Amino acid sequence: MNFYGVDLNCRLMLGTAQYPSPAVMAEAVKASGTEVVTVSLRRESGAGRAGQDFWSLIRALGVRVLPNTAGCRSAKEAVTTARMAREVFNTKWIKLEVIGEEDTLQPDVFGLVEAARILAEDGFEVFPYTTEDLVVAERLVEAGCRVLMPWGAPIGSAQGLNNAFGLRALRAHFPEVPLVVDAGIGVPSHAARAMEMGYDAVLINTAIAKAGDPVAMAAAFARAVEAGRLAWEAGPMEPREMASPSTPVIGRADLA
């Protein structure tokens, strides 16, 4: 798997919010085997101030940081936050979120495309949190995005993949673009299903952080992602309308 020229072995990405404690978060990251974690700028501030203990913990884990613009409600706010994150985390990567609706936290796709274009022109490598809409995806790619992160369901809802048709269509329409299902996944089987569709990775936060045992759940997701990817590479059979016998009927004994 390759994101903006960076080769990664693990197809599971983790968020770092909502864990019972930083220690539990660190153990979950280790159990998952992830190489990329998302971090909100709101968890950080300048050197020597609040957030430095958390940032030191992240660095000690030896993972790549994907800062995000979580909570931003406009393109202008997202762009400003991204530029601040680049200074704090010293990376061109940015997970771009522009939220447009309060109840579902659905992306504002108009502001998203606007912000993506500005940031790409400014040298950022943008990971946009988007819907599964093909036209929006086209606009994001045209704006300079080389990765797309469509939602499976509303953030933190644990509903899984609400629009399997749309996600499959997105995969078919962009065979060469890395696609990451981001948001809404609740259990490992949801992640496996995304991988079985041919998605390149999944990003999980709430389903692990809010589990009774986040460390065990992180390990479960890691196995599910591996299984789903292996299934995709093996070539799953197509669903059928009718039964098909698994045992040949030719040569069957005639006992009449």
Asked if residues 160 and 192 have their Cβ atoms less than 8 Å apart, the reply is no
3-state secondary structure of 231: helix
Count of CB atoms situated within 10 Å of the CB of 12: 23
Element spanning 2, H or E: strand 2-3
3-state secondary structure of 121: helix
Residues 35, 48: Cα–Cα separation, whole Å: 26
The sign of the CA dihedral 37, 154, 95, 130 is: positive
DSSP of 233-250: HH-PPPP-SS---SS--T
Residue 156 assigned as binding residue: yes
Residue 162 assigned as binding residue: no
Residue 90 assigned as binding residue: no
Residue 206 assigned as binding residue: yes
Q: Cα 21 to the chain's mean position, in Å?
A: 22
DSSP of 44-105: --STTSTTHHHHHHHHHHT-EEEEE-TT--SHHHHHHHHHHHHHHH--SEEEE--B--TTT-
Which member of 76, 92, 95, 210 is catalytic?
95
- Check if 210 is active-site: no
Residue ranges of the binding site for 1-deoxy-D-xylulose 5-phosphate: 156, 183-184, 205-206
Residue ranges of the binding site: 156, 183-184, 205-206
Where in the sequence numbering do the catalytic residues fall?
95
